Structure 1
Amino acid sequence: MKNNKEKICLLILILIPILFICYRIFITHSKNSATLNNHYINYENKEYKENTNIPINNELSNEKFVNEEKSFKSNEENFSKDNIEKEEYIDEVVDNEVEVIDNKISESNSIKILSIDSYITEVSTIDYKIKKGDTISQILREFESTCNYKTGYKYLKLLNPNIDLNEVEIDTIIKIPYDTFYSGKLYLIKNGDTWYKLIKENYPDYNVDNFSKFLIDINDLPNSDLPLGENIFLPKI
């Protein structure tokens, strides 16, 4: 009986270290397994996050591409719009230039010219019979309010080329531009006057160069200079 107790005690003493060692092994194994599982889970989470970043990056990339495409389309539309506006503006400018040229051509074609010969042949006159005591200066004095003597004499000379006005005989018939003398006007030349200004204000339908020569001729002026402070005759045409 005593021997059996001793055997049991000895067996217990042997089993206790064995159980303790088994327990330690079990604990260590559990910790290692948990660590491995955590590593595995962390790895899977990390891989998942990296994988999920890919679509996000792709989405960002796609969004950037869409924005760039929209920007390109917008620029393209603006470029097309600008080109259309520029083309319309160029067409408008060209049309305006053509219109201006046409107006100038039309204006140039509408400008009238007048020669002294053609004018004299169309001037209406009356026949006046010279009587005793008549002189040319006396006759022209009647029209001095509208036509100066020098110009009146030039008219009579042009209308009566075969008559010597300095020695007019009695009963000589001369042509007098009665209506022309009275319908015209005297204009006093002042500072700032030019042929261009004078003609544009009084004869806008006529060519300036041509009509200035006509006025110089009909007024019997010595040159093309406007006689400052003197009257010149402006006929009604």
Structure 2
Amino acid sequence: MHHARSHSMSSKIAVVTGASRGLGKNTALKLAAQGVDVILTYHSNLAEAQALVAEITQAGRRAAALQLDVGLSATFDAFAAQVRHELSRQWQRENFDFLVNNAGIGIHAAFADTTEEQFDQLMNIQLKGPYFLTQKLLPLMADHGRIVNVSSGLTRFSLPGYSAYAAMKGGIEVLTRYMAKELGSRGIAVNVVAPGAIATDFGGGAVRDNAELNRFVASNTALGRAGQADDIGGAIAALFLDSNRWVNAQRIEISGGMFL
């Protein structure tokens, strides 16, 4: 334990949004297992976030939890200041290395029934949020760092009820290429991952809890089952390994082969 901690001064540091549960939590744990320290954000559940910090700390890595609503871009300057403070306090550093734009919500509504309020909420959280959060954190990112944006299989295949959500994720996929192009001069690589249907509490836990939906997903997936958070977190974390440093501006689908 003490031995592991003695190396943490030279450790890479990742900021993972929406990491108190689901995919974000799994990604944070997989990054910690890779020797990466983590600053995680949570929306409302401080207890869950603190439990994850404790779990990462017990594994011999450093971690910190900061509250963030990615739908409120007006708070990003203050959040960046908090990140700067945390880096100085815990790591004696002025920058971090990796960013995972994971935080999000799911809204299921037919195109004909989607309200402007739902559309705006998805826009603010899924597209405007990652756009401006990344912009505000750029001064704190180390050169040769890496960014992973989280999209969805729903940008490639269309399932009724996700038009607004998928439109925002499509925006994130285009944005990823532009970020890679414009941040390349700093040596920062930017990729986007597209998880398939996963059995977490995302979107009300439908894939996990609705047996019919779960069977539908499994029957349309080459590997024959719905995804688990554990299928995704490790794949995201792997994009931060030195051996993947040349992967850039790519959309990597992590779906077990859905709708092939």
Q: Shorter chain as normaliser: what TM range?
A: under 0.3
TM-score, length of structure 2 as denominator length? 0.19
- Greater percentage in strand: 2
TM-score in terms of structure 1 length: 0.21
Tell me which structure has the larger Cα radius of gyration.
1
